[in-house]
Amino acid sequence: MSIGLYIHVPFCIRKCLYCDFTSYPVSGPAMADYLGSLVKEINLYGAALGDEEKSISSLFFGGGTPTCLPAGALKMILDELRYSFSLMEGCEITVEANPGTVDAAGLETLLKAGVNRLSLGVQSFNDGLLGVLGRIHSTAQALEAVRLARASGFANLNLDFIFGIPGQTLSDWQETLAQAAALYPEHIAAYGLQLEEGTTLAQGVGRGEICACPEDLELMMYRHAVEYLDNCGYKHYEISNFARPGRECAHNLVYWLNNLYLGLGPAAHSFIGGERFSNVPALDRYSEQLSGGEYPVEARERLTVEDEMAETMFLGLRLTAGVDLNLFHRRFGRRAEDVYRREIEGILKNGLVEINGGFLRLSSKGLPLANVVFREFV
Ligand code: SF4
């Protein structure tokens, strides 16, 4: 079976005020050290894995900000991956980019290196709200990044957005989405802002200096996105993701279908060989362990069949198509309706899910209450 491969690039020009991802300030020596260590990790897995596990169906450079690295460095990583792994025909290769870090020459280099999907973290087309989030880019830079991506020849573009930003009105969000749809990207992701503990934004809200977006307003924004993007020809295929026909993100589908993936780089997560494991987040420890010829893994967990079944249920329910009950039966030799009889009966009775055509899926009532449904399977 092929796998999805994730490469974590842990550098950003400046920390956004809501961000709790693993990222470090841009620094030439740190980036050179990271690149050397990443190549060691690629070679380590390249030598250890079997042919099937080295067959890559999707590749995703995330972060951090992968485009903080020179485009030539991303090309070098791709060359190393082609040497140690096997990128399948038609492999989706995505690079996440901050609109403040792209230029025409860099985008052309990425395209020539084989990158065929660009994911731009636009977040909002409102400069005031970008300021609240602490983003480094402006609306004008985001629009220019989209123009440059198209001019360079990127035919598969995702734009990421956030709603529920403190101070954001429903009409701000409607304007942002209208501008997004007018750019005709192949894919749009719209996430409600999470106030992660310890972030500057969450601390500001905790001290009462910043007003969090009211829950009912956030729900209205979500419902608007679902309805508006559907009217614009985007299929709502996952709780927060919308795609033109055939443009669903192949890499993220690997996660939601609970298929196999390998994550390389500090803090990257993997699910392969019956284990879930995660890399150390600290850049110095990541490099030290690889210098000693060790895997930079911090925590490993061997999954039981029960764990894997539960994860297949709550990850699959993120998809609007839902969990394919026949596929579940083939994969585990047991029917989900039997394993989770009590849980499924309860959420069916509450109208949070429905069964249709062999799929168990969230109902329109259950969509905004997805976390309540997921808890049934944890
Ligand atoms: S660009 Fe992304 S990873 Fe970097 S600080 Fe901002 S949200 Fe976090």
Let me know if residue 165 belongs to a domain: yes
CB of residue 98 inside a 6 A radius of ligand 1: yes
pLDDT at residue 378, rounded to an integer = 86
Let me know if residue 275 belongs to a domain: no
Q: Rounded to an integer, what distance in angstroms lies between the CA atom of residue 207 and that of residue 151? A: 45
Q: Rounded to an integer, what distance in angstroms lies between the CA atom of residue 2 and that of residue 20? A: 30
CB of residue 119 inside a 6 A radius of ligand 1: no
**CATH number for position 370:** 1.10.10.920
Let me know if residue 118 belongs to a domain: yes
* Amino acid identity, position 1: M
Let me know if residue 349 belongs to a domain: yes
| Domain shared by 240 and 361, yes or no | no
Q: What is the DSSP string of 153-171?
A: T---EEEEEEE--TT--HH
* Residue 31, domain extent: 3-256
Let me know if residue 264 belongs to a domain: no
pLDDT at residue 22, rounded to an integer = 86
Q: What is the DSSP string of 328-367?
A: HHHHHSS-HHHHTHHHHHHHHHTTSEEEETTEEEE-TTTG
| Domain shared by 110 and 236, yes or no | yes
**Which residue CA neighbors atom 2 of ligand 1 most closely?**
64
48: left (phi over 0), alpha (psi -120 to 50) or beta: alpha
| Domain shared by 317 and 244, yes or no | no
What is the distance in A from the centroid of ligand 1 to the CA of 200?
Answer: 13
Let me know if residue 262 belongs to a domain: no
Best residue among 19, 123, 132 to mutate for probing ligand 1's pocket (most ligand atoms within 8 Å of CB) is: 19
CB of residue 19 inside a 6 A radius of ligand 1: yes
Per-residue pLDDT tens digits of the chain, which is 378 residues long: 899 999 999 999 999 999 999 899 999 999 999 999 999 999 999 999 999 999 999 999 999 999 999 999 999 999 999 999 999 999 999 999 999 999 999 999 999 999 999 999 999 999 999 999 999 999 999 999 999 999 999 999 999 999 999 999 999 999 999 999 999 999 999 999 999 999 999 999 999 999 999 999 999 999 999 999 999 999 999 999 999 999 999 999 999 999 999 999 999 999 999 999 999 999 999 999 999 999 999 999 999 999 999 999 999 999 999 999 999 999 999 999 999 999 999 999 999 999 999 999 999 999 999 999 999 998
pLDDT at residue 262, rounded to an integer = 98
Atom of ligand 1 nearest to the CA of 63: 3
| Domain shared by 190 and 119, yes or no | yes
Number of domains in the chain: 2
| Domain shared by 41 and 113, yes or no | yes
In the numeric block, the tokens 């980019």 are attached to 97
pLDDT at residue 107, rounded to an integer = 97
Q: Rounded to an integer, what distance in angstroms lies between the CA atom of residue 68 and that of residue 136? A: 12
**Which residue CA neighbors atom 6 of ligand 1 most closely?**
16
| Domain shared by 24 and 170, yes or no | yes
| Domain shared by 181 and 322, yes or no | no
